[in-house]
């Protein structure tokens, strides 16, 4: 028996309705970011059901919270400033917001999950007062060393009230890629209502559920991501806290993200055409219809069958397959498909902290990108499909021995 079946459906972490619809069952999986060092290869790996449900009332897609929080957070020593692309994204955001809102020395910018100050330092450089809120003490200290004032702790209504008493209130609040990681969404959002000035603005960035559904990006689901949002669902959550969205931008990050601009219900910010247009597109895409969500499972099954057929055929023909990118999404996919090191010899990744370890579950060894040029595989399977163009350019040299690229999502294709 693979664990007992729950006798009652859990309730939606947003609206409280009973969750009777499975979005996708990805089986039992280890945490997607727990890379295995060689000395632990022989030991049993903790694995947990990875089951995503969709709420029939508010259409929040959510993963059952079955992993003890300390296991998830022990892996969270991630420094945002390690990613060049992300730092550049942050710099452009700061510039745009300073000019859009006319921020100056009398303003206040508060970021939730401020990490190592990768974003707020651009406001500090422009002479604008900031406050970061960050639960991981080691990264918060790195931010403070850069002159980014940081409150160490989780964010929610209680923290917001405490900060308000200390005299904080915000012209701009930012929450980038944190909403998905929050177990209690309502308590989290309530904090923004408390800290935003009457005309203050909150920008929220999150991967767009419409892309997940339309492009079968089921591999972006993992235990650390509790929730997956459409614009419509976010608007309902905001409304429950006397807030509203008035503008939105689509960003290419994480396979397609949204940046929603929110304010108090009674603030003067006018609803933009971009917001109206995206509401219409979500409607046309069926994001308020449960049948749309039922379409993901068969597409994931097809993607699994295609990947396994491809690996089988390569094996029969004596062809070598390597993979590129030891990212979380690759692990969800490989473990859902039951792929092992027998089918994929190794995975190359440029992060030196991952090299020498093994992927969780599949136990495929992680090597430096140079290993591709030594092993000369017939196929390189690109796991982070959102970076496929970048990776193809970087590894264009595989042409030399007739090597080809393969991309597994939304359905397997071989690139010439
Ligand atoms: Zn709900």
Q: Does 70 or 182 have the greater pLDDT score?
A: 182
Flag whether pLDDT at 138 surpasses 90: no
User: 63: CA distance to ligand 1 center in Å?
Assistant: 13
- Which pLDDT score, from 0 to 100, does residue 78 have? 54
Q: How far, in Å, is the centroid of ligand 1 from the Cα of 54?
A: 8
For 102, residues 6+ apart whose C-beta sits below 8 A from its C-beta are: none
pLDDT at 3 over 70: no
Q: Which CATH superfamily is 80-268 part of? A: Vaccinia Virus protein VP39 (3.40.50.150)
Distance from the CA of 60 to the center of ligand 1, in angstroms? Answer: 6
| pLDDT (average), residues 202-213 | 96
Mean pLDDT of the chain: 93
Stretch(es) of the chain classified as CATH 3.40.50.720: 296-415
pLDDT at residue number 76:
46
Give the CATH architecture of domain 296-415: 3-Layer(aba) Sandwich (3.40)
Residue 116 has pLDDT above 70, yes or no: yes
Evaluate if pTM is beyond 0.95.
Answer: no
With cut-offs at 50, 70 and 90, classify the pLDDT of residue 329: confident
CA of 233 to the centre of ligand 1 (A): 9
- The answer, yes or no, to whether residue 87 has pLDDT greater than 60, is yes
Do the beta carbons of residue 321 and residue 288 sit within 8 Å?
no
What's the pLDDT tens digit per position in 160-203? 999 999 999 999 999 998 999 898 999 999 999 999 999 999 99
Q: Is the pLDDT of residue 74 over 80?
A: no
Predicted confidence at residue 395, as pLDDT, reads 95
Taking only the tens place, the pLDDT of each residue in 331-366 is: 999 999 999 999 999 999 988 889 999 999 999 999
* Cα of 13 from ligand 1 centre, angstroms: 7
What separation in Å is there between the alpha carbon of 62 and the centre of ligand 1? 9
What per-residue confidence (pLDDT) applies to 85?
72
pLDDT band for 9, please (50, 70, 90 cuts): confident
In the predicted structure, residue 27 carries a pLDDT above the cut 80: yes
Whole-number Å distance, alpha carbon 1 to ligand 1 midpoint, is 30
Domain boundaries for CATH 3.40.50.150 within the chain: 80-268
296, with CB counted inside 10 A (0-12, 13-18, 19+), is buried
**What is the 3-state secondary structure of 301-369?**
HHHHHHHHHHHHHHHHCCCCEEEECCCHHHHHHHHHHCCCCCCCCCEECCCCCCCCCECCCCCCEEECC
- The Å distance, Cα 165 to ligand 1 centre, comes to 32
């Amino acid at each position: 028996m693979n664990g007992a079946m729950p006798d009652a459906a859990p309730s939606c972490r947003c609206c409280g309705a009973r969750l009777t619809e499975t979005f996708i069952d990805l089986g039992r999986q280890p945490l997607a970011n727990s890379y295995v060092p060689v000395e632990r290869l022989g030991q049993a790996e903790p694995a947990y059901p990875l089951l995503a449900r969709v709420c029939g009332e508010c259409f929040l897609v959510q993963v059952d919270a079955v992993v003890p929080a300390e296991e998830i957070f022990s892996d969270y020593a991630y420094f945002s400033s390690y990613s060049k692309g992300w730092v550049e994204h942050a710099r452009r955001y700061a510039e745009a917001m300073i000019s859009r809102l006319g921020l100056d020395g009398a303003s206040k910018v508060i970021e939730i999950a401020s990490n190592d100050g990768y974003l707020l330092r651009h406001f500090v450089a422009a002479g604008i007062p900031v406050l970061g809120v960050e639960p991981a003490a080691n990264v918060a200290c790195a931010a403070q060393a850069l002159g980014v004032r940081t409150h160490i702790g989780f964010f929610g209504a209680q923290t917001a009230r405490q900060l308000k008493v200390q005299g904080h209130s915000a012209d701009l609040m930012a929450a980038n890629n944190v909403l998905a990681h929050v177990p209690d969404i309502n308590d989290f959002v309530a904090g923004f209502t408390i800290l935003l000035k009457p005309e203050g603005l909150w920008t929220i960035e999150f991967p767009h559920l419409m892309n997940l559904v339309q492009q079968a990006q089921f591999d972006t689901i993992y235990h650390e991501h509790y929730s997956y949002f459409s614009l419509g669902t976010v608007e309902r959550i905001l409304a429950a806290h006397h807030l509203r969205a008035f503008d939105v931008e689509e960003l290419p990050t994480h396979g397609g993200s949204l940046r929603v601009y929110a304010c108090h219900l009674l603030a003067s910010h006018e609803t933009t055409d971009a917001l109206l247009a995206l509401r219409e597109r979500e409607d046309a895409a069926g994001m308020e219809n449960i049948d749309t969500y039922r379409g993901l499972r068969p597409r994931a099954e097809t993607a699994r069958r295609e990947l396994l057929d491809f690996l089988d055929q390569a094996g029969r023909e004596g062809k070598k397959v390597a993979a590129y990118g030891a990212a979380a999404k690759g692990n969800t996919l490989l473990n859902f498909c039951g792929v092992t090191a027998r089918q994929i010899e190794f995975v190359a990744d440029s992060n030196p902290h991952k090299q020498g370890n093994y992927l969780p579950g599949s136990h495929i060894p992680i090597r430096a990108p140079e290993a591709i040029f030594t092993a000369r595989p017939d196929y390189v399977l690109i796991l982070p499909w959102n970076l496929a163009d970048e990776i193809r350019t970087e590894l264009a040299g595989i042409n030399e021995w007739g090597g080809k690229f393969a991309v597994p999502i939304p359905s397997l294709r071989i690139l010439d």
